[in-house]
Amino acid sequence: MAPSFPFQSWQANPLSDWSIPVEKSFVGIVGMGTVGAGVARLLLDHGDRTARHAGRTLWLQHVVVRDVHKKRDVDLPAGVLTDDLDRLLNDRQVSLVALLVGGIEPARTIAVKILESGKDLVTANKALLAEHGPELFDRARDLGRSIAFEAAVAGGIPIITNLAQCLNANKILSVSGILNGTTNYIVSRMDRGQGDFASSLVQAQRLGFAEADPTMDIDGSDAAQKLAILAHLAFGAQVHWADIPRRGIEQLQVDDFRYAQQLGYRIKLIALAELTRSGLQLSVSPMLVKLGTPLAEVQDNFNAIRVVGDAVGPVFFHGQGAGQMPTASAVVADMIDTAVGRTKITFQTLKLWSDTAPSIEIAYPGDARARYYYRLNITDQSNVLAPVSEIMGRYGISIASVFQHDDDRSDSNVVPLVIMTHETTEQNAAAAFREINQLDFVHPAAQRLKVLNSTGG
């Protein structure tokens, strides 16, 4: 028999409405890091709110942690904290568990145990779903359980529910997003001329946006993991995140932001899934985004997603993609939906990551069409443009504009030359760029960036 507590803290709140539900759903949490503490706080301090929305109290019965002696920034009712996972697993009253442990193991093993013990799972662990989603979803279906994961993509922005439910009268045409707050903070700062990549990364770490090891943020892997999940929901794409072509922001230079602005753009790390005639194009890369369009205006650590549906047209979501309370907001919403039974219905209907669900063709990345920005560092001498345009012409690339930035000439007479192209394929743009870089008057390190087209931005 699980212990019961005289009250959880919200019930001592004089503003709470005592007439609200007596029925309880007993819930557990595994992991009491930043997000776990936020979830506990919402359940304990604002349980009247969640009870009103769930039609029952979400009663926090067990919190499982590795070290019960560690200092935490939330007061848990006596008897709730334990380092014994089995206490939670064997408690038949508990019907759902929020798994708030990061990384792959032991999160994967614990997730399976939670499902096998007959409990529904709520998780914020994007890496776990990106690596083991198909296996976990199959297991949950076999066991008649559900998995909810709103917090795994874009933290507080309710994009999973919107794609999985609210927009499903549509054929989704594109999903373009800023899905990583760390990199958006860095590029926003570089765009404002406040620092280069290295100093902006240090500042992001100082402010607690970037991880101690920010590699997966910086190189686009984190955004690719999130895009793989969104692409599955929006298009049925069965793609492993590591197979999504991706490029990070570490090669960006402050000058590129300045030149992009002069051309009417901002540089953003964009995760893009776009339906084309040859299938679904997927990529994560820094792109030029037209100033004044919603994605270009997303600043600092914020995330945003633009979805275009054939019936609804463009829809835009903006908010905090990480952080304690935004992520906890999504986790608790999932806990409410699971307790009410909504998650199970959606989960069973959608057959997510099921082998039996139809899958969409993934397009060859080289076929993606866009305009391109080239920034070349050239020796300022005669007969430079002719060989460059000859190469571009050979690849069928039409030049839209050329601008030499004389103010940025180096002592050795090297000047930046910025070329904007008309629309071409990724394959041709890359091949021409490679050849241009072999010309003897072209110096390292040149830059090539894709332009997000107006339907994507």
Q: Per rule CB under 6 A, is residue 321 in the interface with ligand HSE? A: yes
Using the rule CB under 6 A, which residue among 8, 174, 182, 425 binds ligand HSE? 182
Q: Per rule CB under 6 A, is residue 150 in the interface with ligand HSE? A: no
What part of residues 113-132 is at the interface with ligand HSE (CB under 6 A)? 126
Q: Per rule CB under 6 A, is residue 181 in the interface with ligand HSE? A: yes
* Closer Cβ to ligand HSE, 133 or 181, answer by number: 181
Q: Least distance to ligand HSE from the beta carbon of 320, Å? A: 9
Asked if residues 424 and 262 have their Cβ atoms less than 8 Å apart, the reply is no
Interface with ligand HSE: number of residues (CB under 6 A): 10
Span of 88-96, 175-183, 258-266, 441-449 interacting with ligand HSE by CB under 6 A: 175-183
Dihedral, CA of residue 117, residue 123, residue 127 and residue 129, to nearest 10: 60
Asked if residues 57 and 23 have their Cβ atoms less than 8 Å apart, the reply is yes
Q: Least distance to ligand HSE from the beta carbon of 195, Å? A: 18
Query: Is omega for the bond preceding 77 within 30 degrees of 0, making it cis?
Result: no
- The DSSP 8-state label assigned to residue 164 in this structure reads I
Using the rule CB under 6 A, which residue among 217, 256, 334, 426 binds ligand HSE? 217
Q: Per rule CB under 6 A, is residue 281 in the interface with ligand HSE? A: no
* Closer Cβ to ligand HSE, 242 or 402, answer by number: 242
Q: Least distance to ligand HSE from the beta carbon of 170, Å? A: 26
Q: Least distance to ligand HSE from the beta carbon of 180, Å? A: 4
What part of residues 67-106 is at the interface with ligand HSE (CB under 6 A)? none
Span of 156-164, 178-186, 413-421, 434-442 interacting with ligand HSE by CB under 6 A: 178-186
| 226 assigned to active site | yes
Contacts of 203 (CB under 8 A, 6+ apart): 185, 189, 195
Spell out where 333-452 has E strands. Answer: 369-379, 399-404, 414-421, 424-425, 442-451
Span of 29-37, 139-147, 180-188, 281-289 interacting with ligand HSE by CB under 6 A: 180-188
Span of 59-67, 176-184, 288-296, 365-373 interacting with ligand HSE by CB under 6 A: 176-184
* Closer Cβ to ligand HSE, 182 or 421, answer by number: 182
Using the rule CB under 6 A, which residue among 146, 180, 421, 425 binds ligand HSE? 180
List the end-to-end C-alpha distance of the chain, in Å, as a whole number.
Answer: 55
Using the rule CB under 6 A, which residue among 172, 239, 322, 384 binds ligand HSE? 322
Contacts of 13 (CB under 8 A, 6+ apart): 45, 48
Q: Least distance to ligand HSE from the beta carbon of 155, Å? A: 7
Q: How far apart are CA 388 and CA 404, in angstroms?
A: 14
For residue 290, report the phi and psi dihedrals to the nearest 5 degrees: -55, 125
* Closer Cβ to ligand HSE, 91 or 217, answer by number: 217
Active-site residue, selected from the candidate residues 113, 126, 226, 450: 226
Q: Report how far apart, in Å, the C-alpha atoms of 47 and of each of 43, 53, 82, 410 are.
A: 5, 10, 21, 63
Q: How far apart are CA 227 and CA 239, in angstroms?
A: 10
Span of 106-114, 139-147, 174-182, 377-385 interacting with ligand HSE by CB under 6 A: 174-182
* Closer Cβ to ligand HSE, 61 or 182, answer by number: 182
Among 162, 445, 156, CA closest to 301 = 156
β-pairing verdict for 442-451 and 57-64:
unpaired
List the structure tokens of 112.
């399976």
DSSP H or E stretch at residue 27: strand 24-30
* Closer Cβ to ligand HSE, 154 or 288, answer by number: 154
Q: How far apart are CA 338 and CA 330, in angstroms?
A: 12
* Closer Cβ to ligand HSE, 1 or 212, answer by number: 212
Q: Least distance to ligand HSE from the beta carbon of 427, Å? A: 31
Q: Least distance to ligand HSE from the beta carbon of 154, Å? A: 8
* Closer Cβ to ligand HSE, 197 or 209, answer by number: 209
* Closer Cβ to ligand HSE, 179 or 442, answer by number: 179
Among 304, 301, 280, CA closest to 293 = 304
Q: Least distance to ligand HSE from the beta carbon of 186, Å? A: 10
Query: Is omega for the bond preceding 106 within 30 degrees of 0, making it cis?
Result: yes
Residue 38, helix vs strand vs coil: helix
Contacts of 217 (CB under 8 A, 6+ apart): 180, 182, 183, 210, 211
Q: Please state at what angle helix 34-45 crosses helix 324-340, rounded to 10 degrees.
A: 60
Q: Least distance to ligand HSE from the beta carbon of 322, Å? A: 4
Rg of the chain over all Cα atoms, to the nearest angstrom = 25
Asked if residues 374 and 418 have their Cβ atoms less than 8 Å apart, the reply is yes
Binding-site ranges for ligand HSE (CB under 6 A): 126, 180-182, 209, 211, 217, 222, 321-322
Q: Catalogue the active-site residues.
A: 226
